[in-house]
Chain A
Amino acid sequence: MAGRTFAEKALARAAGLPDARAGDILDVTPDLVFSHDNSAAIRRIFAQTGAPGVRFPDRVAITLDHAVPAPTTRHAENHAAIREWVRAQGIAHFFEVGRGICHQVIGEEGLALPGETILGADSHTTHFGWLGAFGAGVGRSEMAALWATGELWLRVPEAMRITLSGVPAPGVTAKDISLRILGDLRADGGLYRSVEFAGDTLGALSLDARATLPNMMAEFGAKNAYLPPDRAVLDYVDARARRPYTPLYPDDDAEYAVEVALDVAALEPQIALPGSPANVVPLSEVAGQPVQQAFLGTCTNGRLEDLRAAADVLRGRRVRVRLIVIPASAAVFEAAATDGTLAALVAAGAAIGTPGCGPCMGNHLGIPAPDEATISSANRNFRGRMGTPDAPIYLANPWVVAASAAAGQIADPREFLP
């Protein structure tokens, strides 16, 4: 009998079955479901199901993060409706304005654990692969059905194994690895797959960096992504977990639909040109391109290591164009305030915002004017993403974002480091 992939093992577990194979359609009971500012709209769909109440309120998390603090009365009314719903249903895990982005907060709170299945009403739920969990995004009607029944049908995806070797050079990060994968294999290269990472590079990445890889696999079409949890991840989890868990690892003889290998030792920083995260070129091809705004933050690259990278670039310098920095969570904010990172960024001229998604999807807090170019540490640069269709968005790692803010043009951070 051939071995099993991570996805096969995780979804069999979530369905309460001894075994599952790619292609099976299963009724799964996730360990946690979550949503964010979209929860009020989900509540309206929930009402149409006729369900008397949320089936498992202790397995539901809601985070206010997409438009925080509320930029308009409509957003404020939306938040108020969500708070009322949380009270009425006894939702166990509610995170207020300022606590941070759902994907970051749920990891920090120990609510997503290795081997578990996590479904979120957000496309970047692939994020939880960094913890060795099965994380997949679902739509609003599906979240309403999950609230009502605690279950949802999922097809077990075929798996793709990406084996990374080598250690990235200074100024080169998991973001660049992700962008290179997207550039090489295109935006649908992982469509409908469980993207399962392997290789010696993973152990060399910090925990902050590891979260970036599965997060970016949402742009690859992946259903979920996975990194095998090592001791460092298990230590992080054990300090936070509120329930027992069992890590899952793919079998050595698991069957992969596709296998890819990438040596990252010689990789240089990568840039996604406006329009698609898969429109990727090496930094050297686009260095010198003027930008009018730099944005550092998001679930992709708003963690402590990312803020520290920017501070390392900017100490003793002033930004030439506005730099907006939004920590991914209150915990990141506090750590960066305590260790001097935020002071260095503010001294360099950065504007610091409330933990949350910030201007990533064009709600507020840094919408560019038409024809103003932004360099961003986020995961998406689709046309109109940041609020106006005529504002080009370049995606890059935090070092590059900071260097570009200092230079007023896309710049190589390695020229700024001692």
Chain B
Amino acid sequence: MKLEGKVWKYGDNIDTDVIIPARYLVTTDPKVLAAHCMEDLDESFAQNVQPGDIMVGGANFGCGSSREHAPISIKGAGVSCIVAESFARIFFRNAINIGLPILESAEAARDAQPGDSLSVDLTAGTITNARTGKTYQARPFPPFVLQIIEAGGLVPYTRHTLGIEI
């Protein structure tokens, strides 16, 4: 699976309170959440993000509250993938569970600049920056996690383990 998009770059320790503030948690509608995604940090994001764009973060991306609304709001905004130096553990799990691909590569995240064009090969786990021409190898998913991704997220995976056909 290959993705291509423009970079929205943020720093270290991007927390779930800025990704989606608690005042909007009364809904789980991805479109409504997407309209407020990142607004306390970067009001231009929700207004200007294009389908397929790629979010790039520093260390500990998604720290704080366990709210699944955070990856849902980012996915709802049209972001195809997040590349970061590292992810907070609950955000990491939530993103996989709702079907938002995330890749860990410190070098790719550090080199990427706002507006760069990245192409990502999820199967190979590679990230290529069109501006620099460099290709980076992300940390691969453990096989068990790949099964969940291949099933389309945790809910369909659970249906499968329960023996329930769609």
Contact = CB atoms under 8 A, between A and B. Distances in A.
B82 to A, nearest CB: 15
A192 interface: yes
18 contacts: A74-B26, A123-B65, A137-B90, A138-B90, A139-B68, A140-B68, A188-B12, A188-B13, A191-B89, A192-B89, A219-B63, A361-B17, A362-B22, A380-B64, A383-B17, A383-B40, A384-B21, A385-B21
Contacts of A141: 68, 94, 97-98, 153-155
Interface string B66-84: 1010000000000000000
B18 A145 contact: no
Interface string A277-302: 01000000000000000000000000
A41 B89 contact: no
Contact of A148 (B23, B64, B66, B158): B158
A49 B158 contact: yes
Given A50-B164, A187-B63, A384-B40, A149 B158 contact: yes
B93 A45 contact: no
B155 A383 contact: no
Given A50-B162, A139-B90, A383-B18, A153 B144 contact: yes
In terms of DSSP, what is the predominant structure of the interface of chain A?
Answer: loop
Contact of B86 (A48, A49, A121, A188): A188
A221 B63 contact: yes
Contacts of B155: 45, 48-49, 141, 144-145
Contacts of B41: 383
A361 B22 contact: yes
Given A49-B155, A141-B155, A380-B64, 16 more contacts: A48-B159, A49-B158, A74-B26, A75-B26, A123-B64, A142-B154, A144-B158, A188-B13, A276-B15, A380-B65, A382-B18, A383-B40, A385-B21, A385-B22, A387-B22, A389-B40
B60 interface: yes
Q: Number of contact residues on B: which range applies?
A: 35 or more
B133 interface: no
A387 B17 CA distance: 10
A41 to B, nearest CB: 6
A221 B89 contact: yes
A72 B164 CA distance: 38
Interface of A: 25, 41, 44-45, 48-51, 72, 74-75, 121-123, 137-142, 144-145, 148-149, 153, 155, 187-188, 191-192, 219, 221, 223, 276, 278, 361-363, 380, 382-385, 387, 389
B28 interface: yes
Closest 3 CB pairs of A and B: A188-B60, A382-B17, A50-B164
A179 to B, nearest CB: 16
A122 B22 CA distance: 13
Contacts of A122: 66
Contacts of A45: 155
A144 B68 CA distance: 12
A363 B90 CA distance: 22
A385 B17 contact: yes
A153 B147 CA distance: 12
Contacts of B89: 191-192, 221, 223
A276 B13 contact: yes
A139 B23 CA distance: 19
B111 to A, nearest CB: 20
A389 B21 contact: yes
Contacts of A278: 13
